[in-house]
């Protein structure tokens, strides 16, 4: 069992940066692939980034590649999403997720989800 709590969201201007954090509880954190997803109003939840348990495999959605960086600290049981050069299309609720058998960017492959944190980018 893993509980996830996101933080770090907020209101920023286009071009600004934000760093999201996801704190996990549970003894098996290191065995999980961790992912970030986001959902804008009226849209489906979409994949943003994922990182394997060791950090050796990282994937990004094309829309954030080069601007966002995912990382994890297995000692602190925390996963991060550094978001740079934010634009209006990045406005969404951002969710952290954990999964043991993740092979792609599909939400149903993740077992546990946080409650989400709102990111709003203004012009």
> What's residue 23's pLDDT?
97
> What's residue 86's pLDDT?
98
Which residues does residue 113 pair with via DSSP β-bridges, in sequence order? 97
Find the Cα–Cα–Cα–Cα dihedral 39, 121, 52, 116, rounded to 10°: -50
> What's residue 9's pLDDT?
97
Q: How far is CA 112 from the centre of its chain?
A: 13
SS3 35: strand
CA-atom Rg of the chain in angstroms: 13
Cβ distance 9 to 118 under 8 Å? yes
Stretches in the chain below the pLDDT threshold 70: none
> What's residue 111's pLDDT?
94
């Amino acid at each position: 069992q893993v509980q996830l709590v996101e933080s770090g969201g907020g209101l920023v201007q286009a071009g600004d940066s934000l760093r999201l954090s996801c704190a996990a509880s549970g003894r098996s954190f290191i065995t999980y692939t961790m992912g970030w997803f986001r959902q804008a109003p009226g849209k489906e939840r979409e994949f943003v980034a994922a990182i394997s348990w060791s950090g050796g495999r990282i994937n990004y959605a094309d829309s954030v590649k080069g601007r966002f960086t995912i990382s994890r600290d297995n000692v602190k049981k925390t996963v991060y999403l550094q978001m740079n050069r934010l634009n209006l299309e990045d406005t969404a609720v951002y969710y952290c997720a954990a999964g043991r058998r993740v092979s792609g960017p599909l939400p149903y492959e993740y077992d546990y989800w946080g409650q989400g944190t709102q990111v709003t980018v203004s012009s």
